[in-house]
Amino acid sequence: MLGYNYRLNEMSCAMGIEQIKRIKQIIKKRTKVAELYNRKLKDADGLEAPYVKEGNELSWFVYVVKLSKGINRNKVISEMEKRGIQCSNYFQSIHLQPFYQKMFGYKKGDFPVSEDVSNRTLSLPFYNDLSQEQIDFVARNLKEIIKNA
């Protein structure tokens, strides 16, 4: 059955209460990390960095790039891991989740644009205090791997 479990344990609630007190600081740090990634990756061949329309603000839960068609995402992930950089595919198209397939009969190919995009997304290391040096390392290696893909 489709549904959600919204129960939180006391520790998660306590952490959430403390984090909400510094939400502006957290978002500011995450925005800085995303902006550093954007500067390093904006003109990179073989990928599309996230675009944020001027005047909009994101909380930057993750940093996800879209690889160009023809680039093997699994190979990119594997090569990044060999260099000590953990990254992963982002979410699979929702219609391919078992619940939606069973409930509505969706199958691969029903939403080709969604599938194409989800098959090319790659989430990069991302957290509040990611340093300029770490971002440079990730971006440099990602560009090199894609160039040789």
In a domain, 99, yes or no: yes
In a domain, 133, yes or no: yes
In a domain, 5, yes or no: no
What is the number of domains present in the chain? 1
Query: Cα 63 from chain centroid?
Result: 4
In a domain, 14, yes or no: no
In a domain, 68, yes or no: yes
Q: Residues 91-105: pLDDT tens digits? A: 889 999 999 999 999
Q: Residues 106-128: pLDDT tens digits? A: 999 999 999 999 999 999 999 99
3-class DSSP state of 24: helix
Given a contact cutoff of 8 angstroms between Cβ atoms, the answer to whether 26 and 19 are in contact is yes
In a domain, 10, yes or no: no
In a domain, 8, yes or no: no
Arithmetic mean of pLDDT, 32-46: 95
Given a contact cutoff of 8 angstroms between Cβ atoms, the answer to whether 124 and 138 are in contact is yes
Q: Which amino acid is at 91?
A: F
In a domain, 132, yes or no: yes
| Residue 75 confidence (pLDDT) above 90 | yes
Q: Determine the structural domain holding residue 62 and report its residue range.
A: 24-147
Three-state secondary structure readout of 63-116: EEEEECCCCCHHHHHHHHHHCCCCCEECCCCHHHCHHHHHHHCCCCCCCHHHHH
CATH of the domain at 43: 3.90.1150.10
Quick one: which of 126, 26, 28 has its CA closest to 85? 126
